Amino acid sequence: MNNETIAETLKSKTGFSCEVFPPKKTSPIDTIYNALDELNNIPWDFISVTYGAGGSNIGASTVDIASTIQDKYNIKAMAHLPCINYTKDEILNILQEFKEHNIHSILALRGDINPNIEPKHDFKHANDLIEFIKINGDFHISGACYPEGHPQSESMAQDIKYLKYKVDCGVEHLMSQLFFDNNTFYNFLEKCEIANIKVPIEAGIMPVTNKKQIERMVSLCGASLPSKFTKMMQRYEDSPEAIRDAGIAYAIDQIVDLIANGVDGIHLYTMNNPYVANKIYDAIKNII
């Protein structure tokens, strides 16, 4: 496993990374390990492991999966860490667990607000967590960014201001939320440059393979859909194989354009689907 930090790697090459997530409680834990066996064919710079969708609590499986990625597959792992539902003491315990499992890269997040869970009040924003981690551990911290602005921001200008503050608090590397129009991402990079945000910024790409998936993700992150994408979804929505292949082709087209324009890296939201990830890697392996 490369001893460079993620930020150091992205400053020296075009990065290629992906996200996986622990299976739902109703699914066997083996499903993620079977997926990792197939994802291992790709030379990832790192793999990030989520804490679960919709604001659920971080579980032992997140730490176990991240440890397996490093110990079995010799790939750097990044653990997602939300803060809205945790006290300072609970975060300290999680950080200690990360240390014990040799996990040194963290994606610091506020986390989704779950209407069924009363938020704790020790951390209101991601920057609160970032500052706390910097004081309480030797970790490399990454952050999330939104090319179209955070859904709860009053304006793009305000969102960029808060993003700059996150970086000033200690974020070394940023990963973007998904987007479907590369010009949106390029405009976002220009705003970051004007704001003197100097850390590497990876482009988050999600290959859309079914209509339900895109409807859910757009509702969560607010990504806009260009007409080219919408027409594709409408044309092939009744054929699972066709919409899968069209979604893969659209993602490949995005990635080729991003790499040609000198993006720092590509972060692939795999949805734990090795077939899709391998198809994309086979198409871009000679240009990345």
| 3 state SS of 145 | strand
Amino acid, res. 88: K
Distance of CA 265 to the CA centre of its chain: 12
| Contact call for residues 43 and 115 (beta carbons, < 8 A) | no
Euclidean distance between CA atoms 259 and 181, whole angstroms = 14
Q: Which two three-digit tokens encode residue 37?
A: 């066996």
The residue among 130, 139, 9 whose CA lies nearest residue 78 is: 139
19 carries an active-site annotation: yes
Euclidean distance between CA atoms 165 and 11, whole angstroms = 21
Q: In angstroms, how far is the first alpha carbon of the chain from the final one? A: 19
| 3 state SS of 160 | helix
Q: Which of the following is catalytic: 4, 19, 202, 237?
A: 19
Euclidean distance between CA atoms 250 and 226, whole angstroms = 12
Neighbours of 118 (CB within 10 A): 8
| Contact call for residues 34 and 52 (beta carbons, < 8 A) | no
- Give 3-state DSSP helix, strand, coil % of the chain, rounded to 5: 45, 15, 40
Q: Which residues are catalytic?
A: 19
